[in-house]
Every structure is written in C-alpha cells, then in structure tokens.
C-alpha cells in the first residue's frame, strides 16, 4: 500500500509534536518531515516532496499564505491549513482558500494539544481526502478566481415584479466548495433567484466568507441570521455552528437559524437545509449539490427530487472531491450532472 507522504509546517513545537503523534497512528500515512517555517520546509522539499502539506498561516520569516501561493504557482500540492479560530484568523484563512488551500483545521490559542487530539479524526480525514483530491481542478479554480471579474452591475434596491415568481435555489457544498461557489455567484446577475447556501465551514469563518463574496458578486451575499427574508437578489449562507432551514413567513419565505446537534457530523448540515426546502418549497425549488467529502446532502436532495424540485449534481470531472455528489447520484436524487462552469447558466434557466 502506498502511504500518503505528509509534511507539517508550523512554528509551534507543540502543534508539530501533536500533529506528528496523530499522523503516526495512521498506517496509511507517513510523516516525512516537520519544519518551523516555510524557509526550512522549502529546503527539505527540494529532495523530498510531500503528497500533502499541513500548514500554519502565521509564521516567522515567511507567512503561510505566501508559501501557499508559491507552491500553487510552481508545483500545485494539496495543503491543509491549520488556522487559529479567531476573527483575524478567519479572514486570513479566506485568503488561503482563495489561493488554493484544500481544507481548514481550526486550532484555539489555548489548549492546543487537547484540541488537536480531539480533532484527530478530522485531521486524518482531511489529509486522506487531500491526497485523493483532483488537484488539477483546484488549481484551475484558483487560476479562474484571480482573473479580473466582469464589471458588476449596480445592485438594485428593489427588483422588478417579473423576478418575484422565480424558484428559490438551495446549494450544498463542502471541501473545494469555496472557490466553486465563488465562480457560480460571480456569474449571476444582481437580479438572481433567491439563494440558500450551506458551505461546511467553522464558526466565525462563514461571516468572512460571506463578506468576501459580497465584495465580488452582484447579488447581495449575507451570513444568514434567524428570520432573514428569502428574496430575489440575495444569497444567504448558513453560519458556522448553526443549522439553517427554510420556513414560511407571511406570503413568502424566511430562514430559521438555530443551534442543534450535528447532522452527518456537520453543523450546518446540507441535509437539514435540503429537507426543509423539500417540505416548504417542493417543486418551487432547485437543489444543487457540489464538491465535498462524505454524504451530507445526498438524502436531502433525494427528498427535494421526490417533492418535485429539479436537482443537479456537479459532475466528477469538475469536482475537487467527488464525494457528496457521488452519494446523491447513488441514492437516485439527481436529475442531471453538469460541469461547474455550466451551473450558473443552468441555475438561471431553471429558476
């Protein structure tokens, strides 16, 4: 069995030690080296290139973001970011995801050893998924994202009546989804159909993600709050550590945002959103499941299809990780599979 070769680059000796201990317990993973900063790492990587890099962001001599950009430009390699669970850390990590980071593992400022041991399954899962990822798709997404965006039309304060009857669109995604969502939302006009989005992401990070997308896209992009109206020209992103559901409100729809146990190990969960959309909107909805690990959303998408909604899965060739779409197809919940670069246009046709 070919083992996954991993390098750990972090200026914290405790983090390097604990991550090394976690990786050593996995028979399919080989830790080839640790380094206190990217300068040391680059010297070691000349003769010993890893399959996956676990990377800190804030380090001396060269920060992790600069190192990540250098790697993606010269020799694209899956990178799992080990980021601080802070507001500043969240914004820097959004830049890392935009630069091509594969996944995020969060770490607190205190109690790092216990936290990393508790999160060992998440770390191992991220490393294994990174090793199997379609790095070509990830690199292409980065290249597309850095291209100048088309001029954004002025955001309408009120939308013409012809937009009010549009179907709402529910989207679920995980690993590889941040750049994929950015691509879709950048191609939508200001008068887009109502959008509800679950992107698996830690608490604090979804606010920074919504803020970034809102600065790039014509529709209004918000981190959802309980009671927010669902309306054309607006995309609501489920906040980290909260579930989001569609509910009826007056003559229209709103979202309910609340705490609750994880579903499919996730909070927010795509299944929670999709099931509520199947229940409340039925055929007046479009469901889209995109790149990501695991099976969250697969059952909910099947419920949407059974309720009369049109359902779409991102195709394997354009997915960074063809996990969630694959499970949705297996369960018979998908009307059509299409490439990422076709989703925005198809969404508008249907909605």
Residue 311: strand pairing partners: 287
Find the catalytic residue in 37, 51, 83, 200: 200
Query: Hey, what are 318's tokens?
Result: 């354009």
pLDDT tens digits for 19-31? Answer: 898 898 899 999 9
Note if 121 is an active site residue. Answer: no
CB 63 within 8 A of CB 37: no
Categorize the per-residue pLDDT at 179 as very low, low, confident or very high, splitting at 50, 70 and 90: very high
Q: What's the number of CA atoms in the CB half-sphere (13 Å) around residue 60?
A: 5
Which residues, including other chains, have CB under 8 Å from residue 19's CB and lie 6 or more apart?
8, 10, 34, 54, 82, 116, 123
- CA 333 to chain centroid, in Å, comes to 21
Identify the weakest region by mean pLDDT among 20-34, 110-124, 130-144, 285-299. Answer: 110-124
pLDDT at 183: 94
Find the catalytic residue in 37, 51, 295, 296: 296
Q: For the packed helices 64-74 and 38-45, what is the interaxial angle rounded to 10 degrees?
A: 30
Most confident of 13-27, 77-91, 226-240: 226-240
State the Cα–Cα distance between residues 263 and 146, nearest whole angstrom.
34
pLDDT above 90 (res 82): no
> Which domains are delineated in the chain?
4-132 (3.40.50.2300), 161-350 (3.40.50.180)
Note if 296 is an active site residue. Answer: yes
With a pLDDT cut of 90, the percent of the chain lying above it is 74
DSSP conformational letter for 162: G
Q: Which of 304, 296, 334 is nearest to 316 (CA)?
A: 334
**Does residue 267 sit in helix, strand or coil?**
coil
State the Cα–Cα distance between residues 265 and 13, nearest whole angstrom.
30
DSSP conformational letter for 263: B
Note if 91 is an active site residue. Answer: no
Q: How far is CA 258 from CA 77, 85, 231, 241, 314, in A?
A: 37, 21, 20, 9, 28
pLDDT at 164: 42
Q: For the packed helices 87-98 and 205-216, what is the interaxial angle rounded to 10 degrees?
A: 50
* DSSP codes of every residue in 95-135: HHHHTT--EEEEE-SS-HHHHHHHTHHHHHHHHHHHHHS-H
State the Cα–Cα distance between residues 182 and 221, nearest whole angstrom.
11
Q: What is the mean pLDDT of residues 247-275?
A: 96
pLDDT at 148: 54
Q: What is the mean pLDDT of residues 339-345?
A: 96
pLDDT tens digits for 51-72? Answer: 999 999 888 889 999 999 999 9
pLDDT above 90 (res 34): yes
Q: Which of 290, 271, 75 is nearest to 179 (CA)?
A: 290
CB 341 within 8 A of CB 183: yes
pLDDT at 87: 63
Find the catalytic residue in 83, 174, 192, 269: 174
Categorize the per-residue pLDDT at 270 as very low, low, confident or very high, splitting at 50, 70 and 90: very high
pLDDT above 50 (res 152): no
Residue 127: strand pairing partners: none
CB 238 within 8 A of CB 224: yes
DSSP conformational letter for 329: H
pLDDT at 109: 64
Q: What is the mean pLDDT of residues 15-41?
A: 93
Categorize the per-residue pLDDT at 85 as very low, low, confident or very high, splitting at 50, 70 and 90: low
pLDDT tens digits for 195-234? Answer: 999 999 988 899 999 999 999 999 999 999 999 999 999 9
pLDDT at 18: 87
Q: Which of 199, 215, 100 is nearest to 149 (CA)?
A: 215
Residue 4 has φ and ψ, to the nearest 5°, of -80, 120
Q: Which of 66, 74, 19 is nearest to 39 (CA)?
A: 66
pLDDT at 102: 94
């Amino acid at each position: 069995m070919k083992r996954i070769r991993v390098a750990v680059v972090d200026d914290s000796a405790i983090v390097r030690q604990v991550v090394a201990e976690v990786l050593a317990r996995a028979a399919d993973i080989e830790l080839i080296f640790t380094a206190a900063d990217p300068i040391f790492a680059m010297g070691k990587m000349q003769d010993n290139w890893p399959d996956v890099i676990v990377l800190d962001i804030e380090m001396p001599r060269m920060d992790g973001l600069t190192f990540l950009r250098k790697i993606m430009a010269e020799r694209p390699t899956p990178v799992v970011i080990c980021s601080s669970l802070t507001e500043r850390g969240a914004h820097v990590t959004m830049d890392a995801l935009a630069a091509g980071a594969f996944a995020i593992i969060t770490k607190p400022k205190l109690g790092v050893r216990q936290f990393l041991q508790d999160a060992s399954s998440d770390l191992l899962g991220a490393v294994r998924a990174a090793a199997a990822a379609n790095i070509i798709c990830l690199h292409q997404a980065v290249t597309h994202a850095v291209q100048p965006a088309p001029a954004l039309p002025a955001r309408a304060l009120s939308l013409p009546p012809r937009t009010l009857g549009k179907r709402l669109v529910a989207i679920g995604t995980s690993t590889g989804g941040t750049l994929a969502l950015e691509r879709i939302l950048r191609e939508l006009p200001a008068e887009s159909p109502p959008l509800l989005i679950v992107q698996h992401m830690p608490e604090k990070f979804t606010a920074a993600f919504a803020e970034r997308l809102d600065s790039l896209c014509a529709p209004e992009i918000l981190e959802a709050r309980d009671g927010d109206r669902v309306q054309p020209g607006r995309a609501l992103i489920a906040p980290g550590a909260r579930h989001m559901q569609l509910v009826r409100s007056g003559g229209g729809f709103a979202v309910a945002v609340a705490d609750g146990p994880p579903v499919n190990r996730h909070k927010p969960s795509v299944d929670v959103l999709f099931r509520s959309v199947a229940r409340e909107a039925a055929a007046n909805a479009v469901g889209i499941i995109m790149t990501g690990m695991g099976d969250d959303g697969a059952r909910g998408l099947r419920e949407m299809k059974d309720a009369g909604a049109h359902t779409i899965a991102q195709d394997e060739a354009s997915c960074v990780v063809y996990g969630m779409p694959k499970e949705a197809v297996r369960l018979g919940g998908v009307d059509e599979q299409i490439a990422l670069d076709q989703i925005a246009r198809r969404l508008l046709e249907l909605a």
